[in-house]
């Protein structure tokens, strides 16, 4: 388990991290969410010793993180750092060797990863000859080359087309199923909700929400009710008509308190025969995020 406790980092008068505390479990994916400048990249860099924190601890499997542990980690930084003129296969082998792999093992893993990302025909090409999306794929392959126990990715889906997003998501799922702890940041919250079991939301350097996605959604004080009416007359909803927050044609979206018993109100609305369909749901992760960082 990656455990970050009480992390604090300042740059002069600017507080980048303020008692930042969260954890990532093996075999699970955690979405690390926050607005631009909230401290996500600083926290990720601290895990790899690229930023020295002012206070707090970072441990892996209850032990301090040193060189030996980091050899078993994989990192995809926000600022991509591969060599533009070096052949992509050679780069992956080189990085695998830096992680302690034999040349043969690194070569085999590089070939397998490039095949996974549809780049088998480009192995001898220098990175600069690839499109932005394919360079992104190579960058992820570089983070995966040593089959890491902990995988930390800063905006890994940025700039990818839908096929690239699907491929990368599938690879991350497979690595988590194999037991790796996967942490990634993204502004694509629908994607995070689809992929991740856990999230940590950071605002101004402080974690304001963390835990399992479903539990965070269930803990929200509001619920959403989506209704479709036969004639579009909102008065058919009675008391619920005051809860409408969005209307598209004869479809209405309502926001109600989580502790409100809507059964008697819905019974009255259904008795009119005007309700064609209704869905009662928790807020989306996007809505939870916007409320948490407001």
Task: List the chain domain ranges.
Answer: 2-217, 220-293
Mean per-residue pLDDT, 34-46: 96
Mean per-residue pLDDT, 74-101: 94
* pLDDT at residue 19 greater than cutoff 90: yes
Residue-level pLDDT at 8: 98
Contact between 36 and 81 under an 8 Å Cβ cutoff? The reply is: no
* pLDDT at residue 130 greater than cutoff 80: yes
Architecture of domain 2-217: 3-Layer(aba) Sandwich (3.40)
Contact between 199 and 209 under an 8 Å Cβ cutoff? The reply is: yes
pLDDT more than 70, % of the chain:
98
Nearest C-alpha neighbor of 81 from the set 136, 31, 19 = 136
pLDDT more than 90, % of the chain:
77
Architecture of domain 220-293: 2-Layer Sandwich (3.30)
pLDDT band at 172 (very low <50, low <70, confident <90, very high): very high
Residue-level pLDDT at 112: 97
Mean confidence (pLDDT) of the chain: 92
Q: What is the pTM of this model?
A: 0.89
* pLDDT at residue 232 greater than cutoff 70: no
């Amino acid at each position: 388990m990656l455990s970050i406790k009480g992390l604090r980092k300042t740059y002069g008068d600017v507080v980048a991290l303020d008692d930042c505390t969260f954890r990532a479990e093996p075999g699970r994916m955690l979405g690390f969410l926050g607005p631009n400048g909230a401290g996500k990249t600083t926290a990720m860099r601290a895990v790899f010793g690229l930023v020295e924190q002012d206070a707090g601890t970072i441990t892996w499997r209850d032990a301090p993180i040193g060189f030996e542990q980091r050899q078993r980690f994989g990192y995809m930084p926000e600022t991509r750092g591969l060599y533009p003129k070096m052949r992509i296969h050679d780069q992956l082998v080189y990085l695998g060797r830096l992680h302690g792999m034999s040349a043969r093992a690194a070569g085999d893993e590089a070939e397998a990863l490039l095949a996974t990302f549809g780049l088998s025909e480009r192995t001898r090409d220098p990175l600069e000859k690839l499109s932005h999306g394919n360079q992104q794929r190579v960058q992820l392959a570089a983070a995966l080359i040593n089959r890491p126990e902990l995988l930390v990715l800063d905006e890994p889906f940025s700039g990818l087309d839908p096929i690239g997003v699907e491929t990368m998501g599938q690879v991350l799922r497979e690595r988590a199923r194999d037991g790796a702890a996967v942490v990634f940041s993204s502004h694509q919250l629908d994607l995070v909700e689809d992929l991740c079991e856990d999230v940590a939301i950071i605002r101004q350097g402080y974690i304001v929400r963390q835990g399992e996605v479903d539990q965070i959604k269930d803990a929200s004080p509001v619920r959403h009710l989506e209704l479709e009416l036969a004639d579009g007359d909102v008065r058919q909803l009675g008391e619920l008509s005051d809860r409408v927050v969005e209307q598209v044609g004869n479809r209405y979206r309502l926001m109600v308190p989580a502790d409100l018993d809507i059964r008697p109100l819905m019974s009255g609305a259904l008795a009119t025969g005007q309700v064609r369909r209704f869905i009662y749901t928790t807020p989306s992760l996007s809505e939870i995020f916007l409320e948490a960082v407001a």
